[in-house]
Structure 1
Amino acid sequence: MKGGRALLFGAALVAGLAGPLAARAETLADAFILAYRHSGLLDKNRAVLRAADEDVAQALASLRPVLSYTAQATRTYTFPNDTPGGISSSGLPTSPRGDTVTDTASLGISGELLLWDAGRTRLGVDVARETVLLTRHALTQVEQQVLFNAVSAYLAVIEAQAFVNLRQSNVQVLNEQLRASRERFEVGEVTRTDVALAESQLAASRSDLSAALGDLEIARAQYVQAVGQKPGQLQPIATPPRTATSLDAAQAVARQTHPNIRRDMRAITVAELNILRAEAAMKPRIVGQGSLQIDQDYTETARLGVQMTGPIYQGGALTSAYRQAAARRDESRADLHITVDDVLNQVAQAWAQSEVATARIAAGELRVRAARVAFQGLQEEFGLGARTTLDVLDAEQDLQDARAALISAQVAEIRAAYQILFTMGLLTVEHLGLGITTYDPEAYYNAVKDAPVRKVSPQGEQLDRIIKSLGR
């Protein structure tokens, strides 16, 4: 990536933003950090990742013994048909002769342990683990999007403020031009038409200034949405970030690191594991069972056994599930192909935008210099009576257009550089070296991967601490 240059409107921007806004200048790194900490989208996807972590714990629990207890108490009344009851002196019915009341109670514990299922449950654990890794890549892409939104909002405020400064300068110049035209009209050096032209140009410039102020307010609102607070005194970005030495190099990095590509690769692994699970579902399942029961007479009953179950005929559902899993595997492979093409196309587009912006800057600088010389020369010629007011106003408009085009090109160069990083999969807190504490996806996973019981085991106590630190 070619080196950048300082933005020409930097000094004017700093002056324009001073005043009611914060005294300390905010850098792009500050905006990145604020956006990372503010983002509700990141919070949401972190919760999605933690939910995926729990799938691992639940899948692993299926390989462990399942214990349950049963407590039961029963009172049974028996009423023989041949011994009807009577009526007492109080008018209440009496129990029939021969009626019996029997109380029974029992307490039992039972357990079940999976012995063999052709690896179906173990494959379920592998699927859950691969899904966790897949979800982590999705979280990385969300992080990239949050940071790119932040830099886009930052540049939008800088560009909008620069246009406000430019329009304000233009209004000042045209005010002076109108004043000079009126003075010369008073002495008969120009006509009323020249004064009207100056007034018209000034009105148009004031309209442009109003539009620029509106654009600045919109940019500030978007900054609040992306970063979480109103923009202060934003520092201009002197140079674009380093990306890659060539388009081929950028695309090669994107193939290896882009989170969407890595996510789809994990999705293929999940799909292939699901094919194996569909095959295993056609095979028998062996479960060990045991129970212990004690009744009200302290009679103990114990049972141990092995149960094997398996499908005989299910109307073709199992073979259909296998074919469906294979089809989804093919779909995942196609998704990866589409994603790779899309990512490489995005890298190429961002690279082209960067090159176009660089060329526009070089041409824009020449255009500004030429337009400035032309405007200054026409002003002098106008003073000598060799040029009309319209000539001077046209030259001044050309100069303003040249400056505006240069501002847009300079902002586009910075934005394109960060777009390249985004498409390469490198627009992350770690790669940018922001030096802040980031969300650790391993912490929660390590706390729940062995399916701990909260408040009982040391792992459960660790999990409680992690959940508390997350504010949940």
Structure 2
Amino acid sequence: MTRLRPCLLSTVAFLLFAGCGAARAQTLEEVLVTTYTSNPQIEADRARQRASDDDVARALGGWRPVATLQVQHGRGHDIYQYKQTKRNINPLYPANPSYSVHEWRTPDNLLLQIQQAIYDGGRTSADLRHSQLAVEAGLATMVSVEQQVLGGAVQAYYDLYRDQEIAELARQNVAWLQEQANAVHARYQVKDVTQTDVAQAEARLAKGLSDQTTAEGTLEVTRSAFQAATGIVPGVLPSPPPAPVALLPTSKDEAMALAETNPDMRAAQLTAQVAEADVDYMASGLMPTLSLQATARRMNDSDQAYLGTTDHQVLLSLSIPLYEGGVSAARTRGAKQTAGQKRLEADYTRRKVTDQVNRAWQQLQSARANIRSLTEQVRAADVARTSIRAEMRVGTRTVLDQLNTEQELMDAKISLLRARHDETVASYGVLISVGHLTASALGLPVEIYDPAIHYEKVRNQWIGTGIDEDYGKDRKPE
């Protein structure tokens, strides 16, 4: 069962609906706010972005000094073998051709070393450029994920409302058909209608019951999809708001111009730039390096009166790679190929985004045209039903005529309901294609997550492994 989560919002505070006993009406705004503030996919992508922020801090570490302290303490045993000669006889062992001397010692050494890179062949600069561009690409990906999640919630909401209304129409239709079947049976008893009329009424009732079963089954599937997309146990949905016309581009040309703000396109372009930085990073392995190294050392390796040695030194170290088996050259060539790949992928992403905008815009226009036609169809079908009911009372219409006109009106209402659903979903599809389906653009009453706060905090952090975020440790399975 979904865990109950309290959400403190800037202008609205409410409890989530998971685990609640009685279902209540859930507005689209409430659903979107809850999705934005608690969706694990959004939270996971924010964690990914925070990890990218720390990669910038790691890259900056290439310019910082590296200090190491090495301490050694132990016990040593040395054995010295001596050979005696006539000129060198140990009076303690005059008869032995050789003798041994044992010496015990206690090594006690201390080494402090500080190294500062002065020039590393452009490696750190390329690494830093890679990390900073990766952060920018990650920001675009964050927008894309937010759009996908909110778009999925919108789709699930309007799907559920559509199927909820279709199921209600099916129930109303069955109730009416049951009344008609009962009335036809009563008329048959007094020989006012024939057996054919009874059979037609019963057949239409059986179809209505089948349609109701199908509609209710579809509704349950949609309810499950709604909970998966939003994390909310679905209740009764009120009539949803109309399409966000004020946020939509006014023409196809404007929509195509706004496509440049599509986050997928932005992320692909930045990823290509990241690959370009990787070329310089790999090529740095072919360049010389220059560093400054300061060392302080104290060595004491004897148990005798000798106190050991202490020395200090500062070295300027220049390293020039002459040949290292072609490893760096191969890595550089591979990075260039990858950079070309990412440029081509960015071009392909641009094509896909252009197609996405075209499709979304055309779907919206088609849905609007369908609504106009279907609205007229519902009006005409309603007029026809009223006329046929009047004609039934004077005996100029058959039972089948009445059953047919009721079915035509119901079919028209369902088609209009679907068309209105399609128009609204297509409207949000246009917003997704131009990068405007975000909590900020929609004006949701919620505190907008600002990734810059974490970036600025960790960018120049020299030490420390702690983080403020719980990175999902307190989340319970839903």
TM norm. shorter chain > 0.5: yes
| 8 Å CA contact 2:81, 2:101 repeated in 1 | no
Once residues 400 and 241 of structure 1 are traced to their aligned partners in structure 2, the CA distance between those partners, rounded to angstroms, is 28
CA distance in 2, matches of 1:162, 1:177: 22
| Residue of structure 2 equivalent to 1:332 | 342
> Is the Cα contact below 8 Å between 1:61 and 1:451 reproduced in 2?
no
Match for residue 43 of structure 1?
A: 43
Q: Deviations over 1:387-440 (max 9, x none)?
A: 222222122211111111011001111111011101110000110011311222
1:168 aligns with 2:171: yes
Query: Which residue of 1 is the match for residue 149 of structure 2?
Result: 146
Distance (whole Å) between structure 2 residues aligned to residue 332 and residue 99 of structure 1: 68
Q: Among residues 237, 243, 267, which one is paired with 1:263 in the alignment?
A: 267
Report the CA distance between 1:99 and its aligned residue. Answer: 2.4
- 1:32 offset after TM fit, Å? 0.6
Letter in 2 for 1:395: T
Q: CA deviation at 1:21?
A: 4.8
Q: Structure 1: 5+ residue runs without aligned partners? A: 1-19, 84-95, 455-459
Q: Distance in 1 between matches of 2:220 and 2:272?
A: 46
The structure-2 alpha-carbon separation of the partners of 1:82 and 1:316, relative to structure 1 and needing over 3 Å to count, comes to closer
Q: How many residues are aligned here? A: 431
CA contact (8 A) 2:262 2:433 kept: yes
Shift of 1:295: 2.5
CA pair 374-265 structure 1, distance change in 2 beyond 3 A: same
Give the letter for the 1:277 counterpart.
Answer: Y
Aligned to 1:128: 131
> What is the deviation of 1:143?
0.4
Q: Is the 8 A contact 2:47 2:471 kept in 1?
A: no
What residue identity is the alignment partner of 1:40? P
TM-score by length of 1: 0.86
- 8 Å CA contact 2:33–2:445 kept in 1: the answer is no
Tell me the residue number matched to 1:408.
418
Map of 1:189 onto structure 2: 192
Residue 10 of structure 1 corresponds to which residue in structure 2?
A: none
Could you tell me which amino acid in structure 2 is paired with residue 116 of structure 1? Y
Q: Provide the secondary structure at the position in 1 that maps to 2:63.
A: coil
Query: Is 1:252 matched up with 2:257?
Result: yes
The residue that corresponds to 1:65 in the other structure is 65
Q: Check 1:276–1:78 CA distance in 2 against 1; reply closer, same or farther (3 A cut).
A: closer
Unpaired runs of 5+ residues, structure 2, are 1-20, 84-98, 301-306
Compute the displacement of 1:80 (Å).
4.8
**Amino acid in the other structure paired with 2:388:** L
Asked if residue 227 in structure 1 is aligned to residue 230 in structure 2, the reply is yes
| Displacement of 1:234 | 2.0
Aligned residue identity for 2:58: Q
Counterparts of 1:201 and 1:293, CA distance in 2: 99
Measure the CA separation in 2 of the matches of 1:148 and 1:249: 21
Change (3 A) 1:73 1:370: same
Q: What are the equivalent positions in structure 2 for 1:439-458 lying under 5 Å apart?
A: 439-454=449-464
Per the alignment, residue 400 of structure 2 pairs with 390
- Kindly indicate whether the alpha-carbon contact (under 8 Å) linking 1:58 and 1:451 is maintained by their aligned counterparts in 2: no
Q: 1:435 is paired with a residue of what secondary structure?
A: coil
Q: Shift in Å at residue 324 of structure 1?
A: 2.2
Match of 2:444 in 1: 434
Q: Indicate conservation of the 8 Å contact 2:81/2:100, yes or no.
A: no
> Is 1:467 equivalent to 2:469 in the alignment?
yes
Q: Does the 8 Å CA contact 2:28/2:241 hold for their aligned counterparts? A: no
1:171-219 Cα distance to aligned partner (Å, 9 max, x none): 1221121122112111111111211111111111011111111111111
1:82-161 alignment, distance < 5 Å: 98-161=101-164
Task: State the 1:371 CA deviation.
Answer: 1.3
Q: Structure 2: how far apart are the matches of 1:432 and 1:65?
A: 47
**Alignment RMSD:** 2.1
Q: Work out the CA distance in 1 between the residues paired with 2:264 and 2:80.
A: 77
Asked whether the equivalents of residues 69 and 112 of structure 2 are also in contact (C-alpha less than 8 Å), the reply is yes
- Residue 451 of structure 1 deviates from its aligned partner by 2.9
